[in-house]
Structure 1
Amino acid sequence: MAIVGAIISTLSKSPQTRTGAGLSASFAFRNLAIMRCHRQYTMARVNPSGVEFTVPTLVLSNWKEKSLEAIRSEPALRACQLSDDGAVIALLMTFAPPGCSSLEIFQRGASLRRRWTRDGHVKDQEASDYFIHPKVKDLLLDETRVGDALKSYQSTQFCLGSHAAFADQFRLKLPADVKLFWSYTAMVLTCGAIPWKSLTPVKIDYYALNRCLHHTVTGFTGNVDQLPDHVRLEIASSLVEASRLPYPELRLKWPSPAPLLSEPSDELLGSASPGSPVPAKHTLDHSLSDRAGKRAKSRTNKSTWNEARGPYEERGEKARDTSYHEIWYCKHCDSTKKPNSITTNLSRARKHLRDFHGIRVIEHVERSDLKKQQHGTITDLFGRQEERQASRDLTEEKYLANAINIPAFEEALARLLAVRNIAHTFIEYPEFHAVILSCNYMARDVLLRSRRAVPKLLKKTFAQHKQGLVKKLHNSLSSMVHFTIDMWTSSEQKAAYQAIVVHFVDAETRGVAQALLSLREFKGSHNGKLQAKAFLEVVEEYDLRGKVGYFTMDNHDANDAMLDDIAKEIDGLDPVARRLRCSGHIMNLIVQAFLFRSKAKKIQDDEREGIDEAIYNDFKAEIGRALPRDNDTRWNSWFRLIDVAIENRAKFMDWIQENHAKIEKDALDHNDWNELGDIHAFLQVFHQISVRQGRENTLDEVLSHMDFLHHHFTRTKNRAFSGPRFYARFHVAWLKFEKYYQLTEQAPVYVTGILLHPALRKSYLSEQWKRNPAWVSNAVKAVRKIWSTDYKSYQLPDEQQEKEQELDEFDRWRQKVYSTASEVKDEFDRFIYGSQRGYPALHIAQARSQLKRLQGDYEAAHKVLNTHSQESDVEPTAPSAIRNFADGLIAIQRCLNCLQRDEISTAIESLRAWVPGPTPMAAAVMFQSILLHAKCLRFRGQFLESQTQLTKLRKVEDKNPDLDFEEYRRDWAYESAASLIEQVFPEEEAKQRLLKAEHRLHEELNRMKSKRITYPKDVPLRLLLAECFFAQEKYAKAEEICHNLTCELKFDRLHRQIILAKINHAKLLATTSADCLVPDECRSLRDKALAHWMEAGRLITSTSQNEGHSSLVVYLSLMNLFSYCEDNASQEARKSTGRSIERAQLGQSDQGVKYWIPGLMSWKKKLSLAEPLIDQRSKL
């Protein structure tokens, strides 16, 4: 072998002997595996027209022994791996200009081949026999076999031989059929006119191909790295995924040329005459084992194969199945066959070993050679691996790796995703990775690679922060923590959400802090008892039972019931005294009562019925602006509306005078303007107070605001009203105000805020409530009770006690005498009766800072103030809880998805929140993502949501008129129709939905026909149309569609068989229910249904991707078919069919069942109709 190889190497150095040497080597080593037809080439130098270029010589040696049917059914061709026919088509199409027919392509290829081989000293006749092989000719001229692929080339004006068209198509998405015939041969022939630096025959590898691409892409000079990303992506996917060639390892330098046949093999392939310049026609005999051995890859899963035995030939067992898959035979099983004891699926083999023999096999699969080669190829093609390796600094990499703070990175990433409400797919964006790696290229291992890792990261970060928050709450400077609770109801989701916010004094910052503890969903009822249960769970979760303080809530009755239930579980909690009311909510109720009384909204709706849009537009143009829009939930919008009207009164009056005839019924007269002026003056005070309320609003201001409003009501009452309507409004508002003004007496903490304010104290109450002195005495008495119970026994800090111990005997005697002489001996009384001089009307936070500078006699009061100032800082308007609903349902679902819901819900919500950039490619990606989202929703049974997503596709298309979404329209139509067919409820609309789906499918099929897009791309739509007809009980039309279809894909054939089986089965049920029974017709229908069901079962068992659940559909139907004499079996069949439908809707079954949901739905209905006919089945 070595001697022959040396001789060939020597001969190959001469251009005159190069071709002969290469072909001689082919016959000398024809027994070597390296003679694989579409992966071996010899480079023969020819010189037509004085131009130097190379021509690959394709060696086709096994066409004689193979039939056309064998070529058509090659598994390699169906798996997008180039076989002989693909290589020939690619070779001949290389030389054909755009628009050529298949015959012209063949004739031109044969002519060029004869001319080239003649220049290469190869006989014309032999070249003609070689290329004009009858089987090759038949294959190329048979429109049913390769015509669709050739037409696709012609329609896109894409030809590998045309460099300009080649370059243009590279920048677009390659069609599927182009990828199918994409070959190593075509790539090399595309660059056939390029002079080679080396004339020695070499193996063309991807390094050489990289050099060829520099000349292939029109106008491009430089490295492939400079090509656009989508161009490089398509080149890589075509080379790596379609060609399936043995890729070379990365090389830092261009290797020295090596002979083509330098790596002989020991596999014998046959004999041939050594002197023949072309391969013999009858020499190679490729058996099934040779065919299967073409990949020549080592066996994986060795541990599983160690538990297998060889096939028993005497039993007729084979080593491989018809698809060339090696069969695994369990060596532990005897002649009795058990499930999966004979299989080609190693996962099932391991399951068999575990279930029946107690053997647990764990495979440690390393990275395959093909994966390594692909990685090396892509790196070689795109990256600058050589420069990176040459300039690699290990010390620098070490320091950069050590500089990465992984916990800090995870914390920052979690905050970014949660705070900014970013989709989880963000971590998969290449741009995000580029930003991180541009700062530190050693951070590659830190980056999360999948969005599925985000919920775990958020949960981990949440747990860490939760521990810190629990610690802060326990170490707070106050004895109690306080809560703001609000409930928000979603009209779309028909669910309610409860937000619980805690307020406390942080021991580190000594400032008031707040935190959201819970955001829980209530499905259905959310009464006070359920809300109390949820709150108590939060209290137990954070261990706050002994620190529960005051509650700020709105005025809903359910909140009173909630506090009553909480008080039953927490000792010492007074549900009335601890309940604070949202002052903003109270203000809104008072003003709503003033504006609308009881019939406001009905009147408003009646008035809006007569609005003329043209008059409104004319009004807006004349005035120069539109009136502020009113709002049902916020009264301030009405105040702003009236304010704008009064401000522009002159313009209003002029416009009304000009258009009085048009708006005579709605025109404002002088009395109306006077009433608006009175309403504006009355509401202006409320507006001023609402502006002052917010995050810094405290309890002392709540009571002072109420006192000011009481003053405002009294002053307005003494004024002359503009009319009786205003008086009625005023009276209703006064009653509402009086109700809540009286309720403040139930919570003494409101008065505490006044008494402990250095600028207010008891003097404020005496002045404001002098009309009723009993209010003052009762209020002070209630606050003194709180003081005596909780704070009077408070001990001064240790530091102050140490100062007392340092006093001498005289100082202690003087302190005792002075305190005895004082009229007020209680610290609380001393503070509230103290002087207000030097204390302006400060905010409570400013007052607290000044109190820190007081002397020791105020120390106890400072403690009380420090505690109740938290109660003051409990936001009376509850904006912190309401603010948690600002982002609506998205923020809530993001929180729940990350911590509570399953992965598929998280994936769907991520697709929903993903909004790509405005680039054309981003629009295409967005279109695909919405389509995928709609499909996911359909699989889960959320048909209305799926249809909503599909309507968004129209908007994406309208926003991108320059983009062509042609390749997605078929899937779009399929999803639209499937969603309509599968939707079951409401049943009364089923007929309308099915007709709409039928129209949608017909519309898309007609469009495809006009575009000359027919078989096999229209097969899924036609099968779905048959399902639609079956659901409408149009059996003849459904059966006609199925009989006229020729399905190539196994799944389509399976779908077709199931539809036909259901049609005959349904006819059988209908026949048995008829008055006049026809036994012969029944038996015929039964036999047909049985034949189709059995064929469907055979297809299911031969599907390698099936997990076993899809066969449930067939077996249940067979059970029903055989159960005409067995009532129990029929009932069990219907129940099992219903269970399979539920599993399919929940996504718990495999792909097959999920695709058959429409058939299952209609089939369940047919089976249910058979129930009252059990008695008649015996007649059959």
Structure 2
Amino acid sequence: MTNRRMRTGFVGFATLRARPCFSQRVPLHPPLITYASMPNAILAPDDTKPDKQRTHRVFEGSPVADSDPSTDESDRAKRPRLHYSAVPKARINIVRELSVGLIVDADLPFSVFTNPYFEQLVWQLDPQIASQVPWSRQSMSRHLNDVYHAKKSVVEQELSHALTKIHLGFDLWTSPNRYAIMAVTAHFLDRQGCHQMRLLALRRQLGCHSGENLACTLLEVVREWGLEDRVGVVVSDNAATNDACLQNFYPNLDSSMKAADVRARRMRCYGHVLNLVARAFLYGEDYEAFEAESQVLDLLSRQEEELRHWRKKGPVGKLHNIVKFVRSSPQRSELFKRVARENDETQGFQLAFESTAELEVMMDNNTRWNSTYLMISRALVKQNDLRAFLVHPDVEGSLPQEDILSADDWRLLGEVKHILEPFYLQTMRTQGWGRGDGNGRLWEVLTGVEYLLEHLEDWKLFYNDITDDTIRDSIEQVDETAQERPSRTRQRPARFNDCEVDLPSQRPQERVMPEHVSGTYTRPGRPAGVSAVADIGDDHRRYLRLCIMNAWQKLNEYYTKLGDSPLFAASIILHPGLGIRYLEINWATEEQLVWVRDAKTGLSRYIDKWYRPSVLQGSCEASTRGPAPMQSVAPDKPHEASDFRQWVMSRTSRATAAGSELDRYMRLESQETNDPVRWWMAHQGSFPVLSKLALDVFAIPAMATDCERSFSLAKLSLTSQRLSMSSTTLEALQCLKNWTRHGAVKLGSARLGRGDSDGVCDVVNLSSI
């Protein structure tokens, strides 16, 4: 036999494949010779084999054996890439990066390319590519590591060119393979003034979750990326260990930082605050103990006790039991849909109404923000279907009579939905990336808390007394007051009773409304949704009053903590459309005027301490190029111009640089702008120091939700069949996914990201390379 090997392919074809001649860098024969209908091919005599082996160094079982994927895996020898190839190396590298991109973006295992169907597919498309690219699981793992480090340098370069400081966000997560993982994200403005977010690490957290250990992991990530002198603030949830973490973290970056300086840079995740307030409203001050007990009862399958446990929380707990009853059995779920379809058919044709028959009831989840609000909202939509289902004779099993919701219970759930709705809307508004004037900017935190406090105070005053006569008198009095006061649609909160607030009129003209809708009009001074449930029972009013008080106390607690950092108030002052006038209007009592003064003082001191050195350095450099005016005062005593003269000059430059900038800015009228970042970039010449601080402030996100998003995406990669994945591999996968989806890097010739139109990426034709 010669060095050519015959094998039988599909439908009786015998195939002869030529071996390349390494001495002459050309194939010995044409690339592929096929003989049809030749069950017995006639080959050269076997005595030619030694000569061929000596000449071309091709032996039986050589690494250059045929690699057609139809060959048995056991018969096909492993081999490296051939030294001679008609495929350019650049094209091979692009294919490798694209293969890594497919694994990263689609959450596929590394062994996906060894699938026989994929091998056949690639072989049919391009046999040369199929034979030249290593597709094994080990090769893909090496490619991932190489690509990760190559693209990491690109992101490092982007961070070094950022317009602002690099603000960090971090959070902890327990992975499906029982690793403690810390996610670290970077937030900044790029040179174009666009808000950017990059995932820096999904690092395994070893040891206990103490503040010292968390700080060590965070420092490791910061030093790995070379950000020691560029770290701004840190956004995280409200756990006490995070406070201890930052008290250890910042002094390691700058030994001059005191405890108050660290608190100024400790940003509390707004979404986490809203979630804590909503849980306090629903479950009281002991909500953590309540949820922990519920989880224990669920794990132990003690259903009766769990039902009683939730029933203690009133109509919300009853609704939880009903939804769980419906969803706990496939038969019940199918019956519920059938009942909903029957109800939908009996209602007949309704113009502009969409059918809700196929909507599922939603289950609350203590780890998902706003899940109870969404459960109540969906239950109110499906109220008739739920009532019909619970009395249907075909229902499997039975729900205790104590869990059946009465008419008053449903009315109370409607009130709960109205009270919690602003919290849900605030979460949805501020959980995204800052664009234009809002949607995740820091200035929305303080204004949002003020808005929600006023919202709760309105409801608190409405449910202050639980008698029908008092409520009726209160509503009439509020209506009269509202008619006399032309500037408000709701009654003024208690903290504004002693001050006059000049706000634009927001009340619609009631007399121009059609008569057929005037009866459903919610009059000024009454919280939204109250008119429909004026006859709610006394017990339910007392229940709502207690819930509102719990929520107000929790929100007020974190409202007070916002004062630890001057940046929350500074974000409002530095917003050209709000400015100091916003604080002066909303903080108008004698006590609150002190808050306005503290906000101004805190901002001024922050600038002096952290943004002055760069100005002083610039002014000192400028002074060396020109005459020093004070040197002519006492030329015979040059030694006096050392410490004292430097101190005087530093105080002089303070008065003329940032101090005057802040004063000039505060004297400006409110500016009409939809994007404060663009405004400050356009006014950098007028406010060189203040604009730098303003841009840094507007790069701070309101929440640390990007860490949560990273955890959700990582869970898609860690399926039940990939739990042996190491934490370093998980980090590389998720970082590349984040960078590609945000447009920071591209893999191969494909670029994904928010900037692409319609989510389509441009792919270069590989054949042109």
| TM-score relative to the length of structure 2 | 0.59
Q: Does 1:867 align with 2:696?
A: yes
* 1:637-657 superposed Cα distances (whole Å, 9 cap, x missing partner): 222222233334455566678
Once residues 558 and 741 of structure 1 are traced to their aligned partners in structure 2, the CA distance between those partners, rounded to angstroms, is 20
Once residues 524 and 483 of structure 1 are traced to their aligned partners in structure 2, the CA distance between those partners, rounded to angstroms, is 22
Q: CA deviation at 1:795?
A: 5.3
Once residues 68 and 413 of structure 2 are traced to their aligned partners in structure 1, the CA distance between those partners, rounded to angstroms, is 76
Q: Does 1:421 align with 2:104?
A: no
Once residues 463 and 204 of structure 1 are traced to their aligned partners in structure 2, the CA distance between those partners, rounded to angstroms, is 46
Once residues 373 and 527 of structure 1 are traced to their aligned partners in structure 2, the CA distance between those partners, rounded to angstroms, is 55
Once residues 637 and 379 of structure 1 are traced to their aligned partners in structure 2, the CA distance between those partners, rounded to angstroms, is 50
Q: Does 1:718 align with 2:508?
A: no
CA contact (8 A) 1:759 1:839 kept: yes
Instruction: Give, as a single letter, the amino acid of the residue that structure 1 aligns with 2:690.
Output: A
Partner of 2:236: 553
Match of 2:372 among 638, 643, 647: 638
CA contact (8 A) 1:455 1:898 kept: no
Q: Does 1:706 align with 2:449?
A: yes
Q: Does 1:887 align with 2:687?
A: no
Once residues 767 and 586 of structure 1 are traced to their aligned partners in structure 2, the CA distance between those partners, rounded to angstroms, is 25
SS where residue 770 of structure 1 aligns?
Answer: coil
Q: CA deviation at 1:734?
A: 1.4
CA contact (8 A) 1:404 1:443 kept: no
Partner of 1:304: none
The 1:495/1:854 distance shift into structure 2, 3 A limit, reads closer
Q: CA deviation at 1:465?
A: 1.9
SS where residue 738 of structure 1 aligns?
Answer: helix
Partner of 2:270: 583
Larger radius of gyration: 1
CA contact (8 A) 1:250 1:376 kept: no
| Mapping for residues 316-465 of structure 1, pairs under 5 Å | 369-371=59-61, 375=65, 401-402=87-88, 404-429=90-115, 432=118, 442-443=128-129, 446-465=132-151
Partner of 2:638: none
The 1:656/1:895 distance shift into structure 2, 3 A limit, reads closer
Partner of 1:79: none
Once residues 889 and 253 of structure 1 are traced to their aligned partners in structure 2, the CA distance between those partners, rounded to angstroms, is 49
Once residues 787 and 259 of structure 1 are traced to their aligned partners in structure 2, the CA distance between those partners, rounded to angstroms, is 90
Please, which moves more after superposition, 449-458 or 542-551? 449-458
Match of 2:598 among 778, 796, 802: 778
Partner of 2:283: 596
Once residues 13 and 444 of structure 2 are traced to their aligned partners in structure 1, the CA distance between those partners, rounded to angstroms, is 72
SS where residue 371 of structure 1 aligns?
Answer: coil
Q: Does 1:538 align with 2:538?
A: no
Once residues 605 and 830 of structure 1 are traced to their aligned partners in structure 2, the CA distance between those partners, rounded to angstroms, is 62
CA contact (8 A) 2:168 2:235 kept: yes
Q: Does 1:672 align with 2:409?
A: yes
* 1:112-149 superposed Cα distances (whole Å, 9 cap, x missing partner): xxxxxxxxxxxxxxxxxxxxxxxxxxxxxxxxxxxxxx
CA contact (8 A) 2:361 2:382 kept: no
Match of 2:361 among 616, 623, 627: 627
Once residues 380 and 762 of structure 1 are traced to their aligned partners in structure 2, the CA distance between those partners, rounded to angstroms, is 75
SS where residue 369 of structure 1 aligns?
Answer: coil
| Mapping for residues 808-823 of structure 1, pairs under 5 Å | none
* 1:459-483 superposed Cα distances (whole Å, 9 cap, x missing partner): 22222222233333233223x2110
Partner of 2:549: 731
Once residues 235 and 195 of structure 2 are traced to their aligned partners in structure 1, the CA distance between those partners, rounded to angstroms, is 16
Once residues 103 and 42 of structure 2 are traced to their aligned partners in structure 1, the CA distance between those partners, rounded to angstroms, is 57
Q: Superposition RMSD on alpha carbons, in Å?
A: 5.0
Partner of 1:832: 666
Q: CA deviation at 1:788?
A: 1.9
CA contact (8 A) 2:576 2:676 kept: yes
The 1:630/1:827 distance shift into structure 2, 3 A limit, reads same
Partner of 1:695: 433
CA contact (8 A) 1:698 1:876 kept: yes
Once residues 766 and 686 of structure 1 are traced to their aligned partners in structure 2, the CA distance between those partners, rounded to angstroms, is 25
The 1:408/1:859 distance shift into structure 2, 3 A limit, reads same
Quote the sequence identity (%). 22
Match of 1:765 among 558, 561, 583: 583
Partner of 1:684: 421
Once residues 589 and 263 of structure 1 are traced to their aligned partners in structure 2, the CA distance between those partners, rounded to angstroms, is 83
Q: CA deviation at 1:487?
A: 0.5
* 1:373-426 superposed Cα distances (whole Å, 9 cap, x missing partner): 9958999999xxxxxxxxxxxxxx99x634843443333333332232222123
CA contact (8 A) 1:459 1:899 kept: no
CA contact (8 A) 1:552 1:582 kept: yes
SS where residue 711 of structure 2 aligns?
Answer: coil
Instruction: Give, as a single letter, the amino acid of the residue that structure 2 aligns with 1:223.
Output: F
Once residues 634 and 378 of structure 1 are traced to their aligned partners in structure 2, the CA distance between those partners, rounded to angstroms, is 50
Once residues 243 and 92 of structure 2 are traced to their aligned partners in structure 1, the CA distance between those partners, rounded to angstroms, is 48
Once residues 376 and 518 of structure 1 are traced to their aligned partners in structure 2, the CA distance between those partners, rounded to angstroms, is 43
Match of 2:174 among 478, 489, 506: 489
Partner of 2:307: 606
Q: CA deviation at 1:847?
A: 2.3
Once residues 377 and 788 of structure 1 are traced to their aligned partners in structure 2, the CA distance between those partners, rounded to angstroms, is 70
Once residues 723 and 556 of structure 1 are traced to their aligned partners in structure 2, the CA distance between those partners, rounded to angstroms, is 33
Q: Does 1:647 align with 2:377?
A: no
Partner of 1:470: 156
Match of 2:197 among 514, 525, 542: 514
* 1:525-558 superposed Cα distances (whole Å, 9 cap, x missing partner): 2222111111111222222211121000011111
SS where residue 766 of structure 1 aligns?
Answer: helix
Which structure's relative contact order is higher, taking Cα pairs within 8 Å and 6+ residues apart? 2
Aligned residues: 530
Once residues 448 and 605 of structure 2 are traced to their aligned partners in structure 1, the CA distance between those partners, rounded to angstroms, is 25
Once residues 458 and 169 of structure 2 are traced to their aligned partners in structure 1, the CA distance between those partners, rounded to angstroms, is 34
Q: CA deviation at 1:831?
A: 1.0
Partner of 1:499: 183
The 1:489/1:897 distance shift into structure 2, 3 A limit, reads closer
- For structure 1, the residue ranges without an aligned partner over 5 or more in a row are 1-202, 226-231, 233-248, 265-295, 301-363, 383-396, 806-821, 907-1180
Q: Does 1:529 align with 2:219?
A: no
Instruction: Give, as a single letter, the amino acid of the residue that structure 1 aligns with 2:667.
Output: Y
Partner of 1:743: 561
| TM-score relative to the length of structure 1 | 0.40
* 1:885-939 superposed Cα distances (whole Å, 9 cap, x missing partner): 113446369899578589xxx9xxxxxxxxxxxxxxxxxxxxxxxxxxxxxxxxx
SS where residue 764 of structure 1 aligns?
Answer: helix
The 1:533/1:646 distance shift into structure 2, 3 A limit, reads same
SS where residue 205 of structure 2 aligns?
Answer: strand
CA contact (8 A) 1:496 1:522 kept: yes
